[in-house]
Amino acid sequence: MQHCIEEILENCRRYTLDGEVASYIPELSKANREEIGIYVATEDGDFFAGDWEKPFTIQSIAKTIFLMLAAKDNGIDFVKAHVGVEATGKSFNAIDYAEPLLLREHINPMVNIGAIAVCGMVKAVSNEERFQRLMTFSRRIMENDELQIDEEVYASEKKTGNKNRALAYLLKNSDMIYGSVEELLDVYFAMCSLKVNCRDLARMALVLAHHGKNVHTGEQVIPEEDAVFMNAVLTTSGMYDGSGEFATTVGIPAKSGVGGGIMADCPGRMGIGIYSPALDKKGNSVAGIRMLEVLSKSQKLSIF
């Protein structure tokens, strides 16, 4: 497997030149588009290549964390009653929702408007407690007690995040979030600025691959039914409005982020963390998708 991972990375390195780094968050524009890394975590051992240790911000992959903890706190039925699970066919930060009262039927937890609502479902008496609970959960599921927020990216997101503010106030107007919009957005922006590497993502993915269980400790981190629910949502909506194409070419649950990361899991087998910040027009890592496509075909990973 180690040789396979190294070969895949080198063969896909050229695709880093086909995309562009995210620039709508100014701090993200500083990324080196030619960096590329992969980490595969299995029950029996780990395999890695390239710039897998390079820290980057988790961005939209944080939506997976929001959903896991909100479902654990409230139950899947509660989450589904407030935020739908159907693929939207819209970009991740779309704001063209004509009927606010119908939001629940037209959003899901993997687009920004749905993720902000789900973030608010994490139980806490204050947004500071909500942030601390999300950080504790992130460190636990990634097996990394050293995880921290990238303060520069957080400040950049907060300064330029007016579209997310508009989405949050739309939710507020529809009685889908309560309390201070700005305080909740502070939690959202901070969690999207969580600094991770490929191994962190692979460890989180490995928990989902084994139905919510940490295979290293034997701990059931999230209920098995929640992990099944998570993988279904990731399969249908995790790769933005490119999820359908990804399902046909790669065929495993995955979540991408505009920081260049992809977290993917093959149920029962492995967790995968990818980093390559050159993105396609939908916000997905170009080389990252290529690596996953080749890996899926060579190892017969597709769940379909």
CA atoms within 13 A of residue 101's CA, in its CB half-sphere: 0
Domains of the chain, residue spans: 2-56+196-298, 60-194
Question: Active site includes 154?
Answer: no
Homologous superfamily assigned to 2-56+196-298: DD-peptidase/beta-lactamase superfamily (3.40.710.10)
Homologous superfamily assigned to 60-194: DD-peptidase/beta-lactamase superfamily (3.40.710.10)
Given the residues 39, 40, 63, 195, select the one marked as catalytic.
Answer: 63
Instruction: For residue range 136-181, list pLDDT tens digits in order.
Output: 999 999 999 999 999 999 999 999 999 999 999 988 988 888 899 9
Question: Active site includes 60?
Answer: yes
Given the residues 83, 221, 258, 286, select the one marked as catalytic.
Answer: 258
**Average pLDDT, rounded, for the chain:** 93
Residue 246 CB contacts under 8 Å (≥ 6 apart), including other chains: 238, 239, 254, 284, 289
pLDDT (mean) for 38-57: 97
Question: Active site includes 258?
Answer: yes
Do the first three CATH levels of 2-56+196-298 and 60-194 match, i.e. the same topology? yes
Given the residues 188, 196, 250, 276, select the one marked as catalytic.
Answer: 188
Instruction: For residue range 208-261, list pLDDT tens digits in order.
Output: 999 999 999 999 999 999 999 999 999 999 999 899 999 999 999 999 999 999
Given the residues 21, 60, 79, 196, select the one marked as catalytic.
Answer: 60
Instruction: For residue range 194-204, list pLDDT tens digits in order.
Output: 999 999 999 99
Better-predicted residue by pLDDT, 93 or 191: 191
pLDDT of residue 74: 97
Among 15-19, 63-67, 101-105, 157-161, whose mean pLDDT is lowest? Answer: 101-105
Question: Active site includes 23?
Answer: no
- β-pair type (261-266, 46-50): unpaired
pLDDT at 99 over 70: no
Given the residues 15, 154, 240, 275, select the one marked as catalytic.
Answer: 240
Q: Model confidence at 101, in pLDDT bands (50, 70, 90)? A: very low
How long, in residues, is the chain?
A: 304
Question: Active site includes 240?
Answer: yes
